[in-house]
Amino acid sequence: MSDITLIINGIRTTVPADTTILDAARRAGVKIPTLCYHPDQEVKANCRVCVVEVEGQKNLLPSCATLVSEGMVVKTTTARVMEARRTILELILAHHPQDCLHCVRSGICELQELAASYDVRGNRFLQEERNLPLDFSSPAMVRDPNKCLLCGRCVEVCSSVQTVHALGFAHRGFETRVVPSLERDLSESPCVMCGQCIHACPVGAISENEQIDDFFAAAVDLEKTMVVQIAPSVRLAMAEELSNPTGELGMPQLINGLRKLGFDYVLSTNFSADLTIMEEGHELLERLREGRDLPMVTSCCPAWVNFLEVFYPDQLGNLSTCKSPQQMFGALVKTYWADKMGIDPARIFSVSIMPCTAKKYEALRPEMADSSFPDVDLVLTTRELARLFRMTGVDPLKLEGSDFDSWMGEYTGAAVIFGASGGVMEAALRTVYEKVTGHDSLEIDFNEVRGMQGIKEAQVDLDGTVVKVAVAHSLGNARRLMEQVKNGESPYHFIEVMACPGGCVGGGGQPLTHTNQKRAERVAAIYSEEQGLDVRKSHDNSEIKALYEEFLYQPLGEKGHDLLHTKYSQKSKGI
């Protein structure tokens, strides 16, 4: 394809012919504001904030939707352009709530940032808010339709990327709104609570169901023993929330930060990730041996489980019966760990820190109380934990390190990579290979299942039996694989699915992410951390060995079946 040379603000730049003015400007180091534009989505040109002046054109043109042409002369900061942008912002703000001090996105709001950049402090237009009711129906997310800009970013990620179609446009003109299916509450839609709409939204129209008040209520109760588990990808992203590069926060510092918040015991979800591999790996071997319910599909991701229940209920038999690491951990904390520590399980308040909004719902599922108590009492996202640190003045970056508490704190490299798409598959293959062949694998890195490709494939030879596997991240890719399973055309024996792009590192509860490039950086940081660990296979975890010797006795045993496994059923909607 031929290149095009144009001039932007006096800067001569050469770009491919299919480049938009917006992309060309960014290559030339010229910043053009955007609002409805998203680098990983189709161009919408709804908001017109990105308009520019092109020599020879009467009207201002949206830079996100206008392709460059040879000799084009573009001006991005003329008086006419600046006045147009300010007017657009004023019109948007005339219908937007002025409650920035109370908004969950205050300080990280794209509209707020633009208003400040363009010095929009008054408004020539009459303030006319919609006064629509907020939607608190979902245990994972809250919708505030009054703040919606109609940019369409949430609709696209829900429909095109996740193929859930829980959100869409309704009505016309001033009455246009983004609404859940049939204009009902979010809980009555097919929403799977993955939270990708939160990342897509430029303002605070949709956010996690914040439960910081619930944490404080439990923390001040002296009768409660506060126990916390922390997922592997939280540490990496927490550094970003604390204005550090991805991964530049040591786990020992984060552990000490959690202690400063009032937790009595700090344990690791990675421990139960290793346990998940033991149970899930043996489940896969059993299914291969018996030739039933193949391909087996992972069950670690609650948004994916919700998706399967709603859209592919006839394939629920393919789903692993294993609970997620969060729920396995919760069940053991109130049985095995409580007994070892001599603590009444009725006093334990079990909190998990997760990168995921769907985990909030998972903890409330009736299937998740096999210890005679709720496995997990409260789920806080990475963002909520960051708010707690800011509220309390605790800065983990300035703290000395601290170790996880005894029992259920040890983990291996296999558990660390759970946070990346392909990590569960790779961890399982490491253990399954050794269990079948009886000897160590010389090469335990399964690079074929790594990376940001939507669907990845690999195969492994288990003493003459070739096992074909696939990995999918984002639910649109998962749907492609499940259509094969539904039609009896799947060539695979084992499939890993993560609902969010990049895996848990891109979860709905992570620091707000505008590009898949940022998710890729987090994935790279996970594998970098894992490479530095001495023990990298789940079955080599000494605390896991002790758990089986003292309590579970064997993978897929009776006690493990009661506490660590479950089953799901068809739903007509997300809850």
Catalytic position from the list 63, 181, 268, 320: 320
Catalytic position from the list 156, 241, 283, 521: 283
Catalytic position from the list 50, 154, 300, 301: 300
Chain centroid to CA 140: 12
C-alpha separations of 7 from 57, 61, 465 in Å: 15, 16, 61
Residues 116/120/123/129 CA torsion (nearest 10 deg): -30
C-alpha separations of 139 from 155, 365, 438, 501 in Å: 20, 11, 45, 22
Token pair for residue 97?
A: 């709530």
Identify whether the C-beta of residue 207 lies closer than 8 Å to the C-beta of residue 148.
Answer: no
Catalytic position from the list 147, 359, 456, 537: 359
Told to judge if 283 belongs to the known catalytic residues of this protein, a careful annotator would answer yes
Told to judge if 359 belongs to the known catalytic residues of this protein, a careful annotator would answer yes
Q: How many CB atoms lie within 10 A of CB 142?
A: 19
Told to judge if 148 belongs to the known catalytic residues of this protein, a careful annotator would answer no
Distance separating alpha carbons of residues 294 and 508, to the nearest angstrom: 30
Provide the β-strand partners of residue 462: 465
- Sign (positive or negative) of CA dihedral 275, 424, 473, 105: positive
Q: How do the residues of the chain divide into helix, strand and coil, expressed in percent and rounded to 5?
A: 40, 15, 45
Catalytic position from the list 90, 113, 286, 367: 367
Told to judge if 571 belongs to the known catalytic residues of this protein, a careful annotator would answer no
Told to judge if 53 belongs to the known catalytic residues of this protein, a careful annotator would answer no
- Strands in 225-230's sheet, in edge-to-edge order, are 265-268, 225-230, 348-354, 378-381
Catalytic position from the list 53, 208, 309, 362: 362
Catalytic position from the list 280, 410, 448, 521: 280
Catalytic position from the list 504, 518, 538, 573: 504
Told to judge if 320 belongs to the known catalytic residues of this protein, a careful annotator would answer yes
> H-type helices in 417-515, by residue range?
423-437, 475-486
Q: What is the largest CA-CA distance in the chain?
A: 80
Distance separating alpha carbons of residues 37 and 431, to the nearest angstrom: 44
Told to judge if 362 belongs to the known catalytic residues of this protein, a careful annotator would answer yes
Distance separating alpha carbons of residues 129 and 103, to the nearest angstrom: 16
φ and ψ of 136, to 5 deg: -105, 15
Catalytic residues: 280, 283, 300, 320, 359, 362, 367, 504
